[in-house]
Amino acid sequence: MVLVDDHMIGILSDCSLFRGMSRQEISAALSDSSWRIRSFPKDTLIAQAGEEVLNLQIVLEGSVKGEMVDYAGKVIKIEDIGPSRPLAPAFLFGLQNRYPVNITAGGDVKVLSFPRERFLVMLQNSKSVLVNFVDIVSSRGQFLSNKIKFLSFTTIKGKLAQYLLDLSGKSGSEKFSLPSSQSRLSELFGVARPSIGRAMSELNHDGIIRTEGREVTILDHSKLSMLLK
């Protein structure tokens, strides 16, 4: 059993699994669990797609990448997962409780891991953890649904339009900042970086958007939406 120190509690305080709980409540929830800290150097495969999910794992340090490989061998990045976030929580239970993607260390990573059976005991003993876990699973289902919708767009412009409209919706404004570089976007979209640049340039040229560095302004919302059809 791993000692739960103040540093670890501090990280776990930001974890959605323990949202709304005091440090004392988190410590109490973890007191009867069999913990193990696992360390992975950069680019190490932490979990392979199709592997059974036997443990609840939470990133303590560093970040990991969730990636999918298609039949042509092209790698599509699904998301980056940083400190305090659990790995594949929606796949911990169920008839097909297997990792849906490869999970790779983005740098030197430490992960807190404990068996699924012990997590069941925690769910039984803590209503707060139970409610938070249900929220996490529901949110992950919604995220994956949106991701499938995003990947269903066959054109780069369609993907880019969906991405920009989502950012606009989250910011509540037609003007917002891109959180990722074009290189990161190319990984997210599963296309070459120059393709992203060309698509952005064409949207600028057509008067649909205006970009200044990472600042984007949607000039014609209806035309951008038409690219989704």
Residue 101 β-bridge partners? none
Please give the pLDDT value at position 35: 82
What's the chain's average pLDDT? 88
Do residues 80 and 106 make contact, with C-beta atoms less than 8 angstroms apart? yes
Look at 91 and 72; give whichever has higher pLDDT. Answer: 91
- From CA 203, how far away is CA 211, in angstroms rounded? 9
**Fold observed for domain 6-151:** Jelly Rolls (2.60.120)
Banded pLDDT at 152 (limits 50, 70, 90)? low
Q: What CA–CA distances, in Å, run from 14 to 54, 62, 114?
A: 23, 15, 18
Looking at residue 30, its pLDDT comes to 83
Task: Supply the pLDDT for residue 17.
Answer: 93
Architecture of domain 156-226: Orthogonal Bundle (1.10)
Dihedral of the alpha carbons of 120, 121, 126, 129, in degrees to the nearest 10: -30
Residue 197 CB coordination number (10 Å): 13
The stretch 201-216 carries a mean pLDDT of: 94
- Mean pLDDT over 71-87 rounds to 83
DSSP H or E segment with residue 146: helix 127-151
Q: Which residues of the chain form beta strands (DSSP E)?
A: 36-40, 45-47, 55-61, 64-69, 75-81, 86-87, 102-105, 109-115, 175-177, 209-212, 215-218
Nearest to 74 by CA among 170, 208, 190: 190
Q: Please state the rounded mean pLDDT for residues 81-103.
A: 92
CB 92 within 8 A of CB 80: no
- Cα separation, 208 vs 222, whole angstroms: 9
**Would the pLDDT of 61 be above 70?**
yes
Question: In the predicted model, is pLDDT for residue 145 greater than 80?
Answer: no
Of residues 45 and 5, more confidence is placed in 45
Question: Does position 4 have pLDDT exceeding 70, yes or no?
Answer: no
Using an 8 Å Cβ cutoff, are 59 and 10 in contact? no
Which region among 56-60, 168-172, 225-229 has the lowest average model confidence (pLDDT)?
A: 225-229
* CA 138 – CA 145 distance, rounded (Å): 11
Which pLDDT tens digit goes with each residue over 108-128? 999 999 899 999 999 999 999
- pLDDT higher than 60, residue 197: yes
Domain edges within the chain: 6-151, 156-226
Residue 153: the pLDDT is 63
pLDDT digits (tens, 9 = 90+) for 211-223: 998 899 999 999 9
